[in-house]
Amino acid sequence: MIRRLTFNLAPGRILGIVGESGAGKTMIGRVIAHALPAGFAVTGGSLRLDDDNLVRLTPARRRALLGRDIAFVPQEPMTALNPVMTIGAQFSEHLKRLGITSRRTRALELLDAVHLRDGAALLRRYPHQLSGGMCQRVLIAMAFAGRPRVIVADEPTTALDVTIQARIVQLMAELQRNAGTAMLFITHDLRLASRICDEIVVLYAGRAVERGPAASLLAEPAHPYTRSLQLASPTMTGPRRALLALAHRMPGLLELAGMSGCRFAPRCPIAEADCLTMDPLDRAAGPMRVAACLRVDGAHRIAVSGLPVAPAIASGKPVLRLHDASKRFRSFWGATGTWAVHDASLVIGAGEFVGLVGESGSGKSTVARLIMGLERATSGRVVLGDRDVTRASAADARHRLHWAQMVFQDPQSALNPRRMVGDIVTQVLQAGRRPLDRTRRMERARELLAEVGLGADLLERYPAQLSGGQRQRVNIARALCAVPRLLVADEIVSGLDVSVQAQLLALLLRLRAERGIALLFISHDLSVVRHLCERVLVMHRGDIVEQGPTETVFASPRHPYTRRLLAAVPPDDPALPWQPFPDEAELMPPAGPPRAAVAVPSR
Amino acid sequence: MIAILFLLARRLLTALPILLTVSILMFVALRLLPVDPAAMSMPPNATNEDIAAKRREMGLDKPLTTQYAIWLRGALHGDFGRSIQLRRDAGHLVTAALPATIQLALCAMVIASVLGLGGGLLLFHLRGGASEALGDLGTTVLLSVPEFLWALLFILLFGVLLPVLPFIGQLGPQFSVVRVTGFLLIDTLLAGQGSAFASALAHLTLPAAALGIAFSPAIMRVLRSGLLDVYHEDYIRQARLRGIGEGRILIVHALPNAILPTLTLMGVQFGFLFGGTLLVEVLYSYPGLGNLMVDAVRNADLPLIQTVGLTYCIVVLLIGMTVDALVLVLNPRLRAR
């Protein structure tokens, strides 16, 4: 899995391990924790923490080091705290193990250091009473409690909202600087890594393809893979360009065994014959830079050009009209309620791509559910084409079939694991009054798979036999089956790697060029929205607080919330400083009916 | 605390219609039986006129709804009618027999819990090893033997083959204990009769063990699978990464989480267990509700059947309520709202 990985991490420095899923970056943390999955073992080499070789430790010595000298910040803060123990109990258990006597005082100090207010009250709370960001702050406080020599943070912000991600990352950097701790920062996000790390190692299929100082590595990638990663990520500034969509995918564990040359060669745009047979050794690629490539000076030749976006197909007829649509979820006693969506108005024309951004809980998904008739609007109107579907009746549902279809976030759970791909994508033809026979359905399934760039060989596969990207394509194919005019896509690329994401974004744009399909693209990723959508809506606590052309909104945001969202994204240019807004609201979970204080600016 | 009171109040409110429904069902079903309580309560030489008069006196000539209304009014005032066979107040008969059954059921629950939780931990400990299949086989065998079969087996083994424990009644014939609470184990202690206490305990051992062992394997399995699930959770891995020892992880972190689904199941199991006392009591001639019920059924003693049946229903509801409250105490996530 992992071969010949070498890195040094000095006290007070942050080393970033960057790679897509399957690259083996999590395995590094597991080697350190000695928690390898069954069937894996470290076959050679050493991993030294001062005088200890972490690979060959006695269990007692390892346990002595864990928590005290090596601390971990987890990926999913909400599930990393024991749900039946108070924060205080878990804190004091940890401090007791560290041999700290005045535990309460120390706990309060630590909570203060991670900018959590009212620590005394917090210690009495249970994890489910805290937001994800608060849980992560608690876990960070615990990690730093023993002044460890090294902290391993494995995707510590992936599960959090963007604005919270920015603050957590900066908090970790601040604590790390003050304590002089060494930190291993494992992430899939090259841009984020370059912001907080001193040095970066880029992993591909278990091989460190490139390493070097963060700033110079990002400014001038020496390895074709690093360069490709950069070109596959949409940007927040500069002209919009097409994304590099690498063909195929990263080789899996079984394929690795048969590969003799460079592991990236089969996908590399500049690979030549010798790349497939010769294992590239580390070569110098500039000051303090190393890259494992036979053509270290060739990476800059990889480029993409041209506009990504076929212009919107102008058409007077709107596909979707949402008129002051509101949804209120009543509380138990029915007296008060929470406005999940409040007076949302929105029009999408044929062939128009509209982005809907906001943090979790902002009501984005409820808007999608209102359009799809999964929720009935409390007030307002939902119109698809020429039919009012607000009541979400059975007849409305039949109409909706050919107007709007939804693609869900988690491609895995959206597909019935017991049905074959061919049946899944033509489900809609199987139901209803005139179901089609299997031969006709398979014919249609073949067309649909071709349309989303999948081969007919997948027809008889089960979802478990597909990769994440393939599953999401199957989801899209299913949504296309009834030839809808509008796709509602709820975070459909957020779980996917950038190279797969680039492929899917290209697919959506091609669908528009070929069939004039419209899209409501719900996402927390502003750069993806900028790449894909001409128009954007910003939602905050149930209100659409700002809307307009994407370029205008992102270049000169009017609403403070939009500004905060934008500030949370690290600037593309590594030379520019990154100063996200401080946000006090995150420190306590919102209570009461959420209403934005500022009126919607009209555009 | 407020959440617990709220839950109990809600459960009590839902218990009322349940009890009402059960009492109606029993009332109607019992009246459909081809027996005549009036005739049965008269001496054999009574004439038809006497019986008719008795029927009028008992209100049996009135429509069923009126009869039920009369019964319900009485029941609400604590009057459950008179046993036809024993000619005593049905409510008194039940309160006299109830402590013995509760004592048996509680001891059986303790045994089921100890065996179930201990066995669950053992099964969890055996996971992945060669003896895992053996453990599975063991619980399957335990699961497939019903409580009355255990009761018979224990009588044969420990009563007849190796006569080490008594298996008839709840106390040796040489003792007499003043009734204070009705719970023999408590009354013997209150009276300072050590040997009577030992005798009561000995009499309780086999029936309680038979019941307890029959209801333990389901608890074992649920605790085992609960622990297996919990050990995949992030907070267990995170605790390990903080350097917390495996023993503490099991006791402090895993068990309090894994016990929650187990407790819910135990609530259901203990409801069944209470019903299971009936057969076991009969087999051990144990003077509790079960024997009262069987006698009442044998004699078509309708008021007594109705009262005992309702008592079973109330106790099962109470068990469920207690377990729910306990789960609420142990699971802070449920207390949120």
pLDDT of residue A22: 80
- CB A68 to CB B243 under 8 A? yes
Give A95-100's long-range contacts (Cβ < 8 A, gap of 24+).
A95/A145, A97/A67, A97/A68, A97/B242, A97/B243, A97/B244, A98/A67, A98/A68, A98/A145, A98/A146, A100/A145
Task: Give the DSSP H/E element, type plus range, for residue A191.
Answer: helix A190-196
- Assess whether pLDDT exceeds 60 at residue A441: yes
- Assess whether pLDDT exceeds 50 at residue A551: yes
Question: What is the pLDDT averaged over residues B217-229?
Answer: 95
Residue A583: pLDDT band (50, 70, 90) is: low
Does the residue A455 lie in any domain? yes
Residues A379 and A524 in one domain: yes
pLDDT of residue A313: 58
Nearest-by-CA chain B residue for A143 = B242
Q: What is the pLDDT of residues B147-164, one digit of tens each?
A: 999 999 999 999 999 989
CA atoms of B48 and B53, how far apart (whole Å): 9
Is any Cβ of chain A less than 8 angstroms from the Cβ of B6? no
How many CB atoms sit inside 10 A of residue B10's CB? 12
DSSP 8-state code for residue A581: P
CATH number assigned to the domain comprising residue A358:
3.40.50.300
DSSP secondary structure string, A319-330?
Answer: EEEEEEEEEEEE
Question: What is the pLDDT averaged over residues B165-171?
Answer: 91
Residues A370 and A399 in one domain: yes
Residue B226: pLDDT band (50, 70, 90) is: very high
- Assess whether pLDDT exceeds 80 at residue A419: yes
Residue partners of B66: CB distance under 8 A and separation at least 6:
B59
Local structure of A458: helix, strand or coil: helix
Residues A327 and A399 in one domain: yes
What distance in Å separates residue A263's CA from the closest CA in chain B?
Answer: 32
Q: In whole angstroms, how far apart are CA A309 and each of A241, A305, A391, A511?
A: 8, 12, 36, 11
* The last residue of a domain, from among A273, A307, A341: A307
Residues A224 and A370 in one domain: no
Calculate the average pLDDT of chain A: 87
Local structure of A248: helix, strand or coil: coil
Residue A582: pLDDT band (50, 70, 90) is: low
Residues A340 and A443 in one domain: no
Q: Who among A81, A83, A139 is closest to B333 (CB)? A: A83
What distance in Å separates residue A75's CA from the closest CA in chain B?
Answer: 9
pLDDT of residue A314: 58
Q: Which of B238, B262, B331 to mutate to test the interface with A (most CBs of A within 10 A)?
A: B238
Does the residue A124 lie in any domain? no
Tokens, residue B278: 């009936």
* Three-state SS letters, A265-301: HHHCCCCCHHHHCCCCCCEECCCCCEECCCCCCCHHH
Does the residue A103 lie in any domain? no
Angle at CA A550, nearest 5°, toward A497 and A390? 90
Residues A237 and A288 in one domain: yes
Does the residue A167 lie in any domain? no
CA atoms of A428 and A405, how far apart (whole Å): 11
Q: Which of B10, B234, B242, B327 to mutate to test the interface with A (most CBs of A within 10 A)?
A: B242
The DSSP bridge pattern shows strands A70-73 and A150-154 to be parallel
Angle at CA A363, nearest 5°, toward A358 and A369? 125
Local structure of A202: helix, strand or coil: strand
Residue A380's domain comprises 315-403+485-547+561-569
pLDDT of residue A426: 92
- Assess whether pLDDT exceeds 90 at residue A295: no
One-letter amino acid for residue B111 of the chain: I
Does the residue A81 lie in any domain? no
- CB B242 to CB A142 under 8 A? yes
pLDDT of residue A599: 33
- Our count of domains for chain A comes to 3
- Assess whether pLDDT exceeds 90 at residue A432: no
A523: β partners: A357
Residue partners of A55: CB distance under 8 A and separation at least 6:
A31, A42, A45, A46, A47
- CB B234 to CB A79 under 8 A? yes
Proportion of chain B above pLDDT 90, given as a percent = 62
Does the residue A25 lie in any domain? no
pLDDT of residue B229: 95
CA atoms of B281 and B203, how far apart (whole Å): 11
CA atoms of A446 and A485, how far apart (whole Å): 21
How much is the pTM? Answer: 0.85
Residues A477 and A491 in one domain: no
CA atoms of B71 and A403, how far apart (whole Å): 63
Which sign, positive or negative, has the C-alpha torsion A116, A121, A124, A125? negative
A404: β partners: A486
What are the phi and psi torsion angles at B120 (to 5°)? -60, -45
pLDDT of residue B317: 92
- Assess whether pLDDT exceeds 80 at residue A92: yes
Q: What is the pLDDT of residues B82-122, one digit of tens each?
A: 888 888 899 999 999 999 999 999 999 999 999 999 999 99
Could you tell me the CATH superfamily of domain B90-336? MetI-like (1.10.3720.10)
- CB A74 to CB B234 under 8 A? yes
Map out the domains of chain B as residue ranges: 90-336
pLDDT of residue A332: 59
Residues A397 and A445 in one domain: no
Does the residue A175 lie in any domain? no
Does the residue A249 lie in any domain? yes
Q: In whole angstroms, how far apart are CA A491 and each of A161, A356, A357, A539, A582?
A: 13, 10, 10, 14, 26
Partners of B243 on chain A (C-beta within 8 Å) are 63-68, 97
Q: What is the pLDDT of residues A364-395, one digit of tens each?
A: 999 999 999 998 999 999 999 889 999 888 88
* The last residue of a domain, from among A287, A307, A327: A307
What are the phi and psi torsion angles at A521 (to 5°)? -105, 105
Strand ranges inside A111-241, DSSP E:
150-154, 182-187, 199-204, 207-213
